[in-house]
Structure 1
């Protein structure tokens, strides 16, 4: 099940999100639209994905991920097909509205809900497998998309990718089930043993759900509030760095080749960071390890200004990149300990909305700051976001321990 999800997540992220960058240039030429106008379609998709995650989360808690992910894959394929036929901005935006809704149904949030339901003891390992494999989505689908465009043109290339996304509906329908009980199993695949004493509170069938309902819901718990805010702040920093790093390095005098390698290196090191997190978390505790790795991102930003080039860029990529994807594992793992299983998906969907909001506003907010004051102020704000996120992660871990 985990490997099936890992493959479908890689495909979904690769086509529904990352491939846009490759199609931007040929679309701009044929649709006679500006980069900003075309990028607005992706922004719309991200916004609807965040909003849709809240609704999808509630569905997942009641009925599981099987049919929502199956339907999402079919909608994603149909929406990418509509993208291939778009003749103007209106049609393009309509297609990306569908892509946004499909993304809410097939990207990380529903996969996290599946893993939270099916795993207790082996949850960190399952999350690691999922996010490490899916971490190569851009590595696989950016060159694949370019190869297809060069070979058959951008519209037929999208038709091929639409079919690949739609094909993910098959493993979702065949493999996914609502809970281990559907296959006469217990979490972690155990068929004849009781849950271990250390299992998370979410494993308890008689847990009182009333405190997690009504106004405020799970956010009445400080641990959930701080975790959500930390995830949103780190996303602001990550998204801003993804957009502005190359431009800053070129302005700072770094060679163009080094700037390009630095940007690509962040994604590769994020995979390394997830492995490091999983190994260390088993010994130290996931909350404090995550906080330390996010704090390292702030140190990496400081290195950009304090060290000479190219040492500054190398230090930044190493420190910032290792922390780049840690919350993809840490957030669902921590949330699984903070809230009961029957409300996990709903709360996770609400967190996804906050994280997606950070992704959407980061380029605009940090871009405005850079335009008004300069790159120094913009990257100082980025450092402030990850520093605050690290502090909030420590507070979240302590609040959970004292409750």
Structure 2
């Protein structure tokens, strides 16, 4: 059995669609909602950067490009190291790895609250928080798909909607807290919340029964159903999907760092400016819930193509905005598109490559977003510092989105789902 090629495993009935024989258990939905909470916490922390943007700039007398490095560095770390987090989860299970990640995030936030220089913030918020998110993001989201067979889109949509919920609630709550208390105290309160709620949610994560324990997984003879990471990397389907992720990543992350600053430039109040990030979260919530049902019927690959195009089109509203109304509409539209794309990726990995190394595959795919997350917000800030506006940034993002749409179409045409 061990000598079978991955081609033989794909086409032998005893290996194909092994997951169809695994009954979905009630605990599967506990894992879904535990993942929801984990993602709400880690991305609530990440996107609460919008609330800390002005306090950081004022405290350390920094320009926008310099402050943007904090958000960019954190995202770069968790996307680059996401594959490592996935490999650790494949080896030790999601509960242990995610618990360690939550502890690191809380430690990073606490260290940031004591920072006396921008360099210290780069190290604590950028590196330490980023490392913690890497240990939670991929292991938690990848733990959902192996529990399900026929409702992967719905389950993945509900779980990943935690990103939208966190984006909606946490930045707004942090912004409200910064008013009556110093930003350092608000960050310490955030650290405590992550530590308590995060460890509780991580404790509920489990491997699916078919993959419970080292080396044990679905399929005849103990073999997992699916490709190894090395086999996955050799497929044209993965390469096109990876390229689409690379191209779309700057488009995805620039608004989180700069839409609030753009709103302040138009004279909006701090509450309305930070509230735009919350509206992105609202759109993301809708997208993640709705798109799972749509994609299970229309097809996840085709839905990805449409959402890539939709995300780029939303930038036309940002470019045309002169007040809160159009900015709010942009935030909702962008959030719906962005949230849909992110919720589709783990399910697509399971569809095309199976569950054998799903956490490692998802983590490797997410590494494609690292450079865009790092450089996108920073370069957008540099363009603003030079030109005084974001129009050039918006034009580039529209072009990148069109290219990501094309790459997604190529991915769809390159192969068929097998699992």
Same fold (TM > 0.5): yes
Which residue of structure 1 aligns with residue 411 of structure 2? 396
Offset, 1:94: 2.8
CA distance in structure 2 between the partners assigned to 1:68 and 1:335 by the alignment:
21
- Structure number with greater CO (CA < 8 Å, separation at least 6) is 2
- Asked if the contact 2:227/2:356 (under 8 Å) is kept, the reply is no
CA distance in structure 2 between the partners assigned to 1:82 and 1:291 by the alignment:
41
CA distance in structure 2 between the partners assigned to 1:207 and 1:328 by the alignment:
25
Which residue of structure 1 aligns with residue 134 of structure 2? 104
Task: Note the residue ranges of structure 2 that are not aligned, 5 or more in a row.
Answer: 1-30
- Asked if the contact 1:79/1:95 (under 8 Å) is kept, the reply is yes
Which residue of structure 1 aligns with residue 251 of structure 2? 237
Offset, 1:309: 9.8
Offset, 1:106: 1.6
Which residue of structure 2 aligns with residue 196 of structure 1? none
Equivalent residue for 2:343, pick from 310, 329, 346 = 329
Which residue of structure 2 aligns with residue 206 of structure 1? 223
Offset, 1:139: 2.2
User: Does 390-399 or 331-340 show the bigger shift?
Assistant: 390-399
**In structure 2, do the counterparts of structure 1 residues 136 and 209 end up closer, same or farther at CA, with 3 Å as the change threshold?**
closer
Offset, 1:223: 0.9
* Pair 1:343 & 2:372 matched: no
Task: Note the residue ranges of structure 1 that are not aligned, 5 or more in a row.
Answer: 185-200
SS of match in other structure, 2:357: helix
**In structure 2, do the counterparts of structure 1 residues 249 and 203 end up closer, same or farther at CA, with 3 Å as the change threshold?**
farther
- Asked if the contact 1:73/1:168 (under 8 Å) is kept, the reply is no
Which residue of structure 2 aligns with residue 227 of structure 1? 241
- Asked if the contact 1:304/1:313 (under 8 Å) is kept, the reply is yes
Offset, 1:102: 0.5
Query: Could you list the per-position Cα deviations for residues 199-224 of structure 1 after superposition, in whole angstroms to 9, with x for gaps in the alignment?
Result: xx9877535877742xxx52221111
Equivalent residue for 2:305, pick from 271, 291, 315 = 291
CA distance in structure 2 between the partners assigned to 1:83 and 1:308 by the alignment:
35
Matches within 5 A, 1:2-401: 2-15=32-45, 17-96=46-125, 97-107=127-137, 109-172=138-201, 174-181=203-210, 206=223, 212-213=229-230, 217-243=231-257, 265-301=279-315, 320-365=334-379, 377-401=392-416
- Asked if the contact 2:163/2:284 (under 8 Å) is kept, the reply is no
Query: Could you list the per-position Cα deviations for residues 352-394 of structure 1 after superposition, in whole angstroms to 9, with x for gaps in the alignment?
Result: 1111221222234456677579855543322222222222222
**In structure 2, do the counterparts of structure 1 residues 208 and 175 end up closer, same or farther at CA, with 3 Å as the change threshold?**
closer
CA distance in structure 2 between the partners assigned to 1:88 and 1:4 by the alignment:
36
- Asked if the contact 1:239/1:363 (under 8 Å) is kept, the reply is yes
**In structure 2, do the counterparts of structure 1 residues 343 and 160 end up closer, same or farther at CA, with 3 Å as the change threshold?**
same
Q: Give the TM-score taking structure 1 as reference length.
A: 0.79
CA distance in structure 2 between the partners assigned to 1:301 and 1:148 by the alignment:
30
CA distance in structure 2 between the partners assigned to 1:60 and 1:241 by the alignment:
31
CA distance in structure 1 between the partners assigned to 2:67 and 2:77 by the alignment:
16
Offset, 1:182: 8.0
CA distance in structure 2 between the partners assigned to 1:304 and 1:30 by the alignment:
29
- Asked if the contact 1:11/1:137 (under 8 Å) is kept, the reply is yes
**In structure 2, do the counterparts of structure 1 residues 203 and 155 end up closer, same or farther at CA, with 3 Å as the change threshold?**
farther
- Asked if the contact 1:277/1:290 (under 8 Å) is kept, the reply is no
CA distance in structure 1 between the partners assigned to 2:142 and 2:284 by the alignment:
22
Q: Give the TM-score taking structure 2 as reference length.
A: 0.77
**In structure 2, do the counterparts of structure 1 residues 203 and 374 end up closer, same or farther at CA, with 3 Å as the change threshold?**
farther
**In structure 2, do the counterparts of structure 1 residues 387 and 28 end up closer, same or farther at CA, with 3 Å as the change threshold?**
closer
SS of match in other structure, 1:342: coil
Offset, 1:72: 0.9
CA distance in structure 2 between the partners assigned to 1:209 and 1:245 by the alignment:
41
